[in-house]
Amino acid sequence: MRKRNHVIPVRLNAKELRYLEEQVKKCGFSREEYLRTLIMGAEVHAKPCEHHTDLLRKIAGLCNNANQLAHVANASGTASQETLREMLRISRDAWQIVKEEW
């Protein structure tokens, strides 16, 4: 048995339909799922770009490296010049990745 057995026809003009289709395409939902989500009061966001997952993985890796350097600096009580240069390199690499791939 169907869980959703109530049908509500909706009439739209060409402009409204075009807008609805654009929003549906952006979020990756079906029209029905998109409308149900809005009706339930949730915010609908555009689905992430194709390369979004890869970008997040790269940034997470760089952040892990920076965190390891910070952990060593906290344990020893000081940060060497080499550690500071490495932290700066990591932050520049992260920024470069975001600029190139975002």
pLDDT value at residue 13: 97
Is the pLDDT confidence value at 1 over 70? no
> Domain of 87?
52-101
Answering whether pTM is above 0.85, one says no
Residues near 69 by beta carbon (within 8 Å), at least 6 away in sequence: 79, 83, 86, 87, 90
Q: Residues 28-41: pLDDT tens digits? A: 899 999 999 999 99
Cα–Cα nearest to 86, from 60, 53, 64, 102: 64
* Residue 102: predicted pLDDT: 63
Q: For residue 5, is it within any domain? A: no
Q: Please check whether residues 67 and 92 belong to one and the same domain.
A: yes
Look at residue 1 and tell me if it is in a domain: no
Please report whether residue 40 resides in a domain.
yes
The predicted pLDDT at position 79 comes to: 77
Looking at the fold, whether 37 and 23 belong to one and the same domain comes out as: yes
